[in-house]
Structure 1
């Protein structure tokens, strides 16, 4: 999700419909009865996604001191026991994973380098995986994910040089679905093999909800989950299909934006920004509602807990390039952010201004829930 927030003009519902018409949206699930996998009472790991990257400007770039403060807040203020360290740059990924492990957090380490040659992506994975193995041997609790939604980020699976071009080609039907799935299967198997060669703990992958994945390659099923249903039973029914592999299920992303109606967009809440304007501008008249975001997160956590899932990581902790501007709703980019914190510019509208975060209602709601579950766990 973090890498599609800057993609203008893409409707996820239309996109998924196009995939379905191309025969790509059916879930590849084995026949047979459901099995428990790693059974536990309630949710096994309660976490949040923490994205690392170079940033689009100095104010949004990675800084070690800021990362360390954030990791402490994730543990001490959010009361999470898990952090999904994702993004690109081996040094950034490993420094953040090491900090989280040192603070006693369970680490879900997921490199997501994209839009570069396949060999570079696999080398990036191998180097990150070797560090994860060192952490594991030192006694840290760590799982390795080999990546996220490869068909979108890895060149050569879908035609197009960029994420936007690949999505548009899918929407326009300029994709051979059989060839696409064959290429996706080939790269996923390669990534799994690289992960196994360097890491000897539990291996996973973050798939979109309707991806076809051979989960026999992995120890944990990983799903980026952005569904919306009026009834709780519909979530349960949908999620149970991922349990049919008899393996633990991790929700590698879940969340929504802080405005009325955002959950109903099913993962497209970010698509309210006109990126062609300078400064970027919110389209329409969304009504800010941090309560809407908080309620959706807690509702999904109730469902995940009832199914005794392995882990769930809320997307995401902070989005530095989407500042909150309360006096200017037309330019309040935080409306299009999934973050559970709001980013505040110390000098509003100055791209070079230092930025800090403040907790949203979703942060407080998760903190209460995570603290309660920790006491009862």
Structure 2
């Protein structure tokens, strides 16, 4: 009751801690948005994290909890392999630095990110049978077809 809500998004990069918090929220009757938050990982590392977390989220869902799996948050900026640059600030700076090429750069980013998200969805779906979404930045141009919820 103190939260005044019926759902909670559990965010983090440590699968054990995510699961612990998600179980506690589910025990309180809250819908859980299980949201691994990779930082500065490459795409293969992200897929490994998602597979582990998806299996944990599915265990919780099978115990009767309402669970939504969030397959990343702003992946293109917060991780390696989607945009050039060594930090989120550098990645965004490079993306926005050439106004005449910005639209093309965003389209190219959308192609790269959507190719990865197709792999991510396949990885998650192997382990998790509940609803699935992604938390995007507007310029990522996400193809929402493989997701259940647009966020």
TM-score normalised by length of structure 1: 0.37
Unpaired runs of at least 5, structure 1: 1-75, 223-377
Alpha-carbon separation, structure 2, partners of 1:82 and 1:156: 32
Aligned to 2:148: 219
Residue pairs, 1:46-85, within 5 angstroms: 76-85=1-10
Q: Is the 8 A contact 2:110 2:140 kept in 1?
A: no
Aligned to 1:154: 79
Aligned to 2:116: 187
Aligned to 1:196: 125
Alpha-carbon separation, structure 2, partners of 1:95 and 1:124: 16
| Superposed displacement of residue 85, structure 1 | 0.4
| Superposed displacement of residue 153, structure 1 | 1.6
Aligned to 1:139: 64
The structure in which a higher percent of residues are helix is: 2
| Superposed displacement of residue 116, structure 1 | 1.6
Classify the secondary structure of the residue corresponding to 1:217. Answer: coil
Consecutive aligned runs of 4 or more in structure 1 exceeding 6 Å deviation: none
Between structure 1 and structure 2, the one with the greater Rg is 1
Report the RMSD for the aligned CA atoms in angstroms.
Answer: 1.6
Alpha-carbon separation, structure 1, partners of 2:144 and 2:41: 25
Aligned to 1:363: none
| Superposed displacement of residue 159, structure 1 | 0.4
Unpaired runs of at least 5, structure 2: none
| Superposed displacement of residue 166, structure 1 | 0.4
1:300-346 Cα offsets, whole Å, 9 max, x none, are xxxxxxxxxxxxxxxxxxxxxxxxxxxxxxxxxxxxxxxxxxxxxxx
| Aligned equivalent of 1:127, options 52, 59, 81 | 52
Aligned to 1:171: 96
Please state if 1:207 is matched with 2:132: no
Q: Is the 8 A contact 1:89 1:113 kept in 2?
A: no
Residue pairs, 1:1-377, within 5 angstroms: 76-173=1-98, 177=105, 178-222=107-151
Q: 1:102 to 1:92 in 2, by over 3 A?
A: same
TM-score normalised by length of structure 2: 0.90
Alpha-carbon separation, structure 1, partners of 2:118 and 2:43: 13
Q: Is the 8 A contact 1:150 1:188 kept in 2?
A: no
